[in-house]
Amino acid sequence: MCGIVGVVSGAPVNQLIYDALLLLQHRGQDAAGIVTQLGRKFFMHKAKGMVRDVFRTRNMRGLPGNSGLGQVRYPTAGNAYNEEEAQPFYVNAPFGIVLVHNGNLTNAHALKAELFSTDHRHINTESDSEVLLNVLAHELERTTRGVQLQVDDVFNAVANVHKRLRGSYAVIALLAGHGVLAFRDPHGIRPLSMGRGADGTVMVASETVTLEGTGHQFERHVAPGEAVFIDLAGTVHTRQCAQDPKLQPCIFEYVYLARPDSMLDGISVYQARLNLGETLAKRVISTVPPNEIDVVIPIPESSRPSATQLAHLLGLPYREAFVKNRYVGRTFIMPGQAVRKKSVRQKLNAIASEFRGRNVLLVDDSIVRGTTSREIVQMARDAGAKKVYLASAAPPVRYPNVYGIDMPTASELVAHGRTVEEVREIIGCDALIYQDVEGMKRAVAAAQGAGFTRLDGFDASCFDGVYVTGDINPDDIAKINEARIGQEDPLDETSGRLALPNAQEA
């Protein structure tokens, strides 16, 4: 998952896109980029790092114009340390296109070969998003009939793009001199919503928090398979471009990825997390009698809503006994296991008095590699806890994710091929309680609210091994894994310097 935003306005958009990217920072910490358009000319600045580090005043001054787009990147193809894989990507023909992408193509490998041999296009990075841009460019070239681009040409091109791409993609592209195009894969795996400002500015963004936080009124979610074209006058054109669209959004967005104050496809992330806490509470009762638990402690940040609800239902005190260093980013989306492991200790510290002599129930939203839980259980013991129980608001993560979450290999997942008891032993807690898959799906689906129109199910592949695009085989997973090259930064490994994504270059 990455964060993407696109804007058409009657006023300069550089600051607006910057502000939007700050509100999407939790979706990607490794690189950030903005493109604006003045006349037919694009202005781009992109680099590795967090939004605040990438954009200095001088960079902002170099981004004029009333339309543009931006992205924060969490790599799932290629490598976090490659500056040239930062987005947006650019091609000069037809018209001039820049593109940002959230998701992951599962047939990038085959498409790359096809682009070279059939379409005679050159791909210069390992990023699947560059492949996607070139497929779109090729299809736009084919569908544009006259000298001038028509809206129908754009939609016909997207319909062809859907036929060629596999995997997940929420996309925003800027077509030079024409407008902003946004579309979503036919399963709607990654989120995309749109809204409007009082001045007529139209914004498309990964999460509704971005719209709200920049003063835009949420209008609706982009439907799976749908394309939206906003011309430079701000008129919105839409068309369903997929043949059999189904809404099966990634359930991990609700569990961990998205901000709790966002609505994704009309489902409240916050309410989903409360509901997950509620169903988890029932499972806790059947494993550990509540009178054997003295206190419920969340593992900040993402587990808080689930943990509060769970504590409330069990009638137990809720204590924020792990303090989070707010200057350390999210651990899970950092590239490389060594960096992740080190940053758990840098990020969280225990208040010993809340642990000493007590039986504690720690609650996390999910256990993926087990990096956080192993450290945190040990920290609770070091702080003097008598018994340490651990509950996860999500079921065991047992299968690789191929749709834009960086866990392409089964072997790195602590629960892959292991029983709950075996995982408990590895993590070192006295009891381990997991959510079950059906309970999770019901809890999230029950959080429907404003903007909800339909739901055909969820992509819960990392929990149940069912891939909604239906075409994932071990060979694809191996290729996606190969594409995810060089995750560890050797410099950080040997130097031992603080390897936070926003660490300044020496």
Ligand X SMILES: O=P(O)(O)OC[C@H]1O[C@H](OP(=O)(O)OP(=O)(O)O)[C@H](O)[C@@H]1O
Ligand Y SMILES: NC(=O)CC[C@H](N)C(=O)O
Residue 372 in the binding site for ligand X (CB under 6 A): yes
Q: How far is the CB of 15 from ligand Y (least distance, A)?
A: 24
Using the minimum distance from each CB to ligand Y, give the nearer residue, 74 or 155.
Answer: 74
Q: What is the DSSP letter of 503?
A: P
Stretch that binds Mg ion, among 141-149, 295-303, 381-389, 475-483 (CB under 5 A): 295-303
Nearest distance from C-beta of residue 153 to ligand X, angstroms: 42
Of the pair 73, 319, the CB lying nearest ligand Y is at 73
List 193, 366, 487, 502, residue binding ligand X (CB under 6 A): 366
302 is in an annotated binding site: yes
241 carries an active-site annotation: no
Out of ligand X, ligand Y, Mg ion, none, what residue 367 binds, judged by CB under 5 to 8 A for its kind, is: ligand X
- Mapped onto helix, strand or coil, the DSSP state of residue 208 is helix
Rounded CA gap, 160 and 164, in Å? 7
Where do contacts with ligand Y occur on this chain (CB under 6 A)? Answer: 1-2, 73-78, 101-104, 127-129, 404
Q: Does 364 bind ligand X (CB under 6 A)?
A: yes
Build a one-symbol-per-residue string for 303-332: x at contacts with ligand X by CB under 6 A, - elsewhere: ---------------------------xxx
Q: Does 25 bind ligand X (CB under 6 A)?
A: no
Residue 168 assigned ligand-binding role: no
- Report, in Å, the least distance between residue 212 CB and ligand X: 19
Among ligand Y, ligand X, Mg ion, none, residue 103 binds (CB under 5-8 Å by kind) = ligand Y
Strand runs labelled E in 372-412: 387-392
The answer to whether 364 is a known ligand-binding residue is yes
**What 3-state DSSP class applies to 282?**
helix
- The answer to whether residues 489 and 336 touch, using CB atoms and an 8 Å cutoff, is yes
Query: Under a CB-based contact definition with an 8 Å cutoff, are residues 50 and 25 in contact?
Result: yes
Distances (CA, A) of 338 to 33, 250, 341, 401, 504: 26, 27, 5, 20, 19
Written in H, E and C, the secondary structure of 111-177 is HHHHHHHCCCCCCCCCCHHHHHHHHHHHHHHHHCCCCCCCHHHHHHHHHHHHHHCCEEEEEEEEECC
Q: Which is nearer to ligand X, 176 or 276 (CB)?
A: 276
Residue choice 209, 368, 391, 440 for contact with ligand X (CB under 6 A): 368
Q: Are 26 and 51 in contact (CB under 8 A)?
A: no
Per CB under 5 A, the segment of 48-56, 191-199, 296-304, 346-354 that binds Mg ion is 296-304
User: Using CA atoms, how far apart are residues 284 and 299, in angstroms rounded to an integer?
Assistant: 17
Integer Cα distance of 211 and 220 in angstroms? 11
302 binds ligand X (CB under 6 A): yes
CA distance 432 to 427: 9
Letters for 189-218 (x = contact with ligand X by CB under 6 A, - = none) are ------------------------------
- β-pairing verdict for 67-73 and 89-91: unpaired
Between the alpha carbon of residue 330 and those of residues 83, 152, 446, 473, 497, the distances in Å are 21, 42, 27, 30, 18
Burial classification of residue 135, based on how many CB atoms lie within 10 Å of its CB (0-12 exposed, 13-18 middle, 19 or more buried):
buried
Q: Which stretch binds ligand X (CB under 6 A): 81-89, 208-216, 285-293, 367-375?
A: 367-375
Stretch in the footprint of ligand X (CB under 6 A) among 42-50, 97-105, 217-225, 294-302? 294-302
Tell which positions 240-269 bind ligand X, by CB under 6 A: 256
Query: Is position 9 an interface residue for ligand X (rule: CB under 6 A)?
Result: no
Positions marked active-site? 2
User: Which positions touch ligand X (CB under 6 A)?
Assistant: 256, 299-302, 330-333, 364-373
- Write out the residues near Mg ion by the rule CB under 5 A: 302
Annotated binding site for Mg(2+): 302, 364-365
